[in-house]
Amino acid sequence: MNVPGEIALKIDTDGVWYYYDQPLERLGLVRLFYSVLQKTTTGFALITPVEKVPVWVEDVPFAVKDIQRDDSGTITLLLNDETLLPLTSELRLRQNMHNILYVSVLERNGHTFEARFTRNAYFAIAACFQELPDGAYVLRSGDAEFLLKTHLED
């Protein structure tokens, strides 16, 4: 795994943290890192009162690993740090030009942090899409509705 320059910490597209080429498997350490992760003018860094350590983020800092849907129809997202986050109208759901889904999960210091849906999470949530008469799709979670495009313009 090639990390640009001498940056030792990396987050891949599935939200897995690496120290050089070794995955960090201690959830407590990953949660600690997320608690001090900041967006900077050059990317991302772990910022504490005594140090600033750059982090190379392959796409976005978080990943949605799975979803749960309760009897009321509310969808809860399972993030890669094991946080459970209800999908409400306060969150922004978007799709990129390749139809990869992203959701806003955190606001910190004026910056929005997003989570990318892993392939498994995408297939799980796609089962909840409802087709509309015009061919578009809607995703409902509790009282929230998210309109999804069937094809995207550039």
Q: How far apart are the first and last CA of the chain?
A: 31
Residue 80 lies in a domain: yes
Could you tell me the pLDDT band of residue 154, with boundaries at 50, 70 and 90? Answer: very low
Sheet with 101-108, side-by-side order of all strands? 84-86, 75-79, 62-69, 111-117, 101-108, 93-95
Model confidence over 99-109: pLDDT tens digits? Answer: 899 999 999 88
CATH number of the CATH domain containing 21: 3.10.540.10
Residues 142 and 69 in one domain: yes
Residue 3 lies in a domain: no
Residue 1 lies in a domain: no
Residue 153 lies in a domain: no
- Name the residue range of residue 71's domain: 62-148
pLDDT for 151 equals 56
Beta bridge partners of 62: 115
pLDDT for 150 equals 64
Residues 117 and 93 in one domain: yes
Residues 51 and 83 in one domain: no
SS3 content of the chain, % helix, strand, coil (to 5): 10, 45, 45
CA-closest candidate to residue 40, choices 102, 135, 111, 134: 111
Q: How far is residue 113's CA from residue 61's CA, in Å, rounded to a whole number?
A: 7
pLDDT for 97 equals 86
Q: How many domains does the chain have?
A: 2
Residues 116 and 70 in one domain: yes
Residue 4 lies in a domain: no
Listed range (30-34, 57-61, 74-78, 147-151) with the worst mean pLDDT: 147-151
pLDDT for 149 equals 78
- pTM of the shown model: 0.88
Residue 125 lies in a domain: yes
Residues 134 and 76 in one domain: yes
